[in-house]
């Protein structure tokens, strides 16, 4: 991709994104090309981190929702930080893109509310129940900006690195063809086992490594 400003990409009348210049991003996982994207409707800035895809395969794409506690502080309460590291390593190896979606903390409820939900979880609620007790949606994330970024990058046919089939369905409704769902599961820990079980049992995430843990544990 060139370093010139990109023309806005339109997926729906209300969704427009503009890309800035492309720059080199050397990391512990490999060398990438990074680019910032601005959702013109909300002003939220997202980022794509890309490694060249192989010509014989659809590019691997990870839509990674911002998680300050997991991504920055390496929290064991979730699997987000480890999933991000896994995605960067796989994309450096196979080619593709991580789109880092800001403003999606706690599946869209925000940082302060996520910490409030953590407090309710410590009192016995699971991650779904905690959001419901706060009067908040279980998952309010919107992938329109992500789809707009993919369209702008010319990535209409992808392999999606995710355990969440609903994410693939939402992208398909936004004009992105998902050729394959690739597992992004990482091993569970004592601290996030119940969280992962809830995602499997109540949110339909595909988590095969939890087959030996059929019952919710506190």
CA 90, 92, 95, 98 dihedral sign is positive
What's the rounded Cα separation, in Å, for the pair 48 and 70? 19
Binding annotation: 62-67, 78, 80, 83, 105-107, 127, 162, 167
Kindly name the residue from 141, 159, 194, 200 that is annotated as catalytic.
141
Binding annotation for GTP: 62-66, 83, 105-107, 127, 162, 167
Query: Three-state SS across 106-118?
Result: HHHCCHHHHHHHH
Q: Any catalytic annotation for residue 139?
A: yes
Q: Any catalytic annotation for residue 194?
A: no
Binding annotation for Zn(2+): 67, 78, 80
Kindly name the residue from 102, 139, 201, 206 that is annotated as catalytic.
139
117 CB-contact burial (10 Å; exposed 0-12 / middle 13-18 / buried 19+): buried
Task: Please answer whether residues 51 and 92 qualify as being in contact, where contact means their C-beta atoms are separated by less than 8 angstroms.
Answer: yes
Encoding tokens for residue 202?
Answer: 């109540």
Q: Give buried/exposed letters for 25-51 (b at 16+ CB in 10 A, else e).
A: beeebeebbbbebbbeeeebebbbbbb
Cβ neighbours around 183 below 10 Å, total: 13
Which residues are catalytically annotated? 139, 141
């Amino acid at each position: 991709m060139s370093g010139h400003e990109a023309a806005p990409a339109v997926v729906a009348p209300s969704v427009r994104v503009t890309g800035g210049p492309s720059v080199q991003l050397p990391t512990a996982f490999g060398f990438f090309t990074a680019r910032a994207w601005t959702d013109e409707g909300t002003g939220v800035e997202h980022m794509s981190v890309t490694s060249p895809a192989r010509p014989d395969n659809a590019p691997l794409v990870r839509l990674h929702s911002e998680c300050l506690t997991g991504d920055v502080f390496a929290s064991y309460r979730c699997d987000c930080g480890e999933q991000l590291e896994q995605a960067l390593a796989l994309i450096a190896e196979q080619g593709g893109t991580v789109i880092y979606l800001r403003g999606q903390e706690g599946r869209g409820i925000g940082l302060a509310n996520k910490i409030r939900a953590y407090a309710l979880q410590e009192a016995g609620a699971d991650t779904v129940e905690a959001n419901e007790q706060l009067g908040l949606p279980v998952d309010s994330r919107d992938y329109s900006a992500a789809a707009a970024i993919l369209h702008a990058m010319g990535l209409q046919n992808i392999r999606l690195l995710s355990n969440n089939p609903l994410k693939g369905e939402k992208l398909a409704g936004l004009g992105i063809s998902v050729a394959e769902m690739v597992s992004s599961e990482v091993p569970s820990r004592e601290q996030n086992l119940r969280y992962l079980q809830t995602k499997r049992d109540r949110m339909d995430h595909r988590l095969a490594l939890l087959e030996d843990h059929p019952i919710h544990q506190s």
